[in-house]
């Protein structure tokens, strides 16, 4: 069974009807409608460009501009009515424009194709979303910096291989993620000029025959440049691929932070406690407080990575210029924006409301974590580090054999390992001193951590 449906923008070539199943399979309005404002902005600018070339009169351009503004108002008010045949946002907006202003609407598409139109809409839409996403990243960095400054004096174990390694500041841990997210923001900022290339004026693939001023269009729409080749302009979706990579990497950083906090919130660690607003309970076990917000953040990393890998599989085998496969470029981009934007906001809120158990962190610091400091003590006595590392390891073994802490070993015990040990070795057994010895740039001392905070504050401001 076939259906003729509404008149198509492309229907002049066809005399047969379209299968209703194909109608549904082909349409994208249910998801690309969110680009309605970008589509209207692009059309209003294009109408001005046509008027500059004498294709439209000034009155016609103004009529189209008013009509497009009326369409935008309907979208904003939620009164825009979709009709059969509105297969995509471009068709829907142009159909409604014609109903408002009459036959002059038919002049708007002169020299323009949905190929350069959709590429322009996507870039316009993404540029707006990038501004918002950069704001969310800055808010997250700000939340981490604020907590780092507030909790500057809290010490905790630092881990490698998930084994206690050396004492660090809790603030140092938080700032490690703050710098990751700062780098994410900087990558997005560097990415913006690659998005801000205007495809409009490329036509279907071969260029515009009416000599529209593309540089003027770019300036009018806030783009920084025009695509230098019309084939490239209509078929390029590298900006989608790169955006999905950036989203995936940011989600990896969110996921790693979530994993750390999930571990630290367990009873076995007890370092942190999530606010009730970002936790749930168990339907069976009343004592449970589950870090569901963090688990969802960790899980959604896979979702965004799936957006990227799925799109890349579509993109990899396309012949040049536009192919209908490229309709599959929008949903992963939209989904990544929605998922990442929500994830950034939730992560910032979790950090801002997190409670820490400073005493539990302190109690988790054990003497064996100062074994490296013991080796460094001997280095300062002139002993080569390779020897001091071995001597300190022997001290750890001695303490293990005696079922005591390494700090419980006497100077006489240590002297059996090397004659350079003196009474001043007692100063080694101090976690605050150990932390503040790491005072090179990037270290975990109070001075260097405060320096990191100031660096990030300067960037935020």
Rounded distance, CA 271 to CA 155, Å? 11
Nearest to 342 by CA among 304, 371, 378: 304
Please state whether beta strands 197-198 and 225-226 pair in parallel, antiparallel, or not at all (unpaired). Answer: parallel
**Contact (Cβ atoms closer than 8 angstroms) between residue 14 and residue 4:** no
Rounded distance, CA 136 to CA 130, Å? 10
Nearest to 167 by CA among 343, 334, 333, 364: 364
Please state whether beta strands 155-160 and 163-169 pair in parallel, antiparallel, or not at all (unpaired). Answer: antiparallel
Please state whether beta strands 163-169 and 197-198 pair in parallel, antiparallel, or not at all (unpaired). Answer: unpaired
For the question of residue 103 being annotated catalytic, the response is: no
For the question of residue 434 being annotated catalytic, the response is: no
Which residue is catalytic, options 3, 282, 309, 359? 282
Which residue is catalytic, options 161, 283, 403, 440? 161
Rounded distance, CA 265 to CA 273, Å? 6
Catalytic site positions:
161, 282
């Amino acid at each position: 069974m076939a259906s003729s449906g509404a008149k198509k923008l492309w229907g002049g070539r066809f005399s047969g009807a379209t299968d209703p199943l194909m109608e549904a399979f082909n349409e994208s309005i249910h998801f690309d409608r969110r680009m309605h404002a970008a589509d209207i902005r692009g059309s209003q600018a294009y109408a001005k460009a046509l008027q500059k070339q004498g294709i439209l009169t000034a009155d016609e351009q103004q009529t189209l501009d008013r009509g497009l503004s009326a369409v935008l108002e309907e979208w904003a008010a939620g009164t825009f009515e979709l009709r059969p045949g509105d297969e995509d946002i471009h068709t829907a907006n142009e159909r409604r424009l014609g109903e408002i202003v009459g036959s002059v609407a038919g002049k708007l598409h002169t020299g323009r194709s949905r190929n350069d139109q959709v590429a322009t809409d996507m870039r316009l839409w993404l540029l707006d979303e990038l501004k918002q996403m950069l704001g969310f990243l800055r808010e997250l960095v700000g939340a981490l910096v604020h907590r780092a400054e507030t909790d500057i004096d809290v010490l905790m174990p630092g881990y490698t291989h998930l084994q206690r390694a050396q004492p660090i500041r809790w603030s140092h841990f938080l700032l490690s993620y703050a710098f990751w997210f700062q780098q994410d923001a900087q990558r997005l900022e560097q990415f913006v000029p690659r998005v801000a290339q205007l495809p409009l004026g490329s036509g279907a693939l071969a260029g515009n025959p009416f000599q529209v001023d593309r540089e003027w269009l770019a300036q009018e729409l806030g783009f920084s440049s025009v695509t230098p080749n019309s084939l490239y302009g209509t078929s390029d979706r590298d900006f989608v691929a790169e955006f999905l990579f950036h989203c995936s990497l940011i989600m990896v950083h969110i996921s790693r932070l979530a994993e750390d906090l999930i571990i630290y919130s367990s009873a076995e660690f007890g370092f942190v406690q999530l606010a009730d607003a970002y936790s749930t309970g168990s339907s069976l076990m009343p004592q449970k407080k589950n870090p569901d917000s963090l688990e969802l953040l960790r899980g959604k990393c896979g979702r965004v990575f799936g957006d990227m890998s799925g799109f890349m599989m579509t993109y990899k085998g396309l012949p040049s210029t536009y192919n209908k496969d490229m309709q599959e470029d929008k949903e992963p981009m939209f989904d990544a924006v929605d998922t990442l934007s929500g994830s950034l906001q939730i992560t910032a809120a979790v950090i801002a409301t997190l409670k820490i158990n400073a005493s539990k962190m302190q109690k988790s610091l054990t003497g064996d974590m100062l074994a490296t400091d013991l080796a460094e003590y001997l280095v300062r006595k002139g002993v080569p580090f390779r020897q001091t590392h071995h001597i300190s390891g022997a001290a750890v073994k001695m303490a293990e054999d005696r079922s005591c802490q390494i700090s419980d070993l006497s100077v006489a015990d240590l002297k059996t390992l090397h004659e350079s040990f003196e009474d001043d070795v007692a100063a080694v057994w101090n976690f605050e001193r150990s932390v503040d010895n790491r005072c090179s740039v990037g270290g975990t001392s109070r001075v260097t951590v405060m320096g990191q905070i100031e660096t990030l504050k300067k960037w935020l401001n």
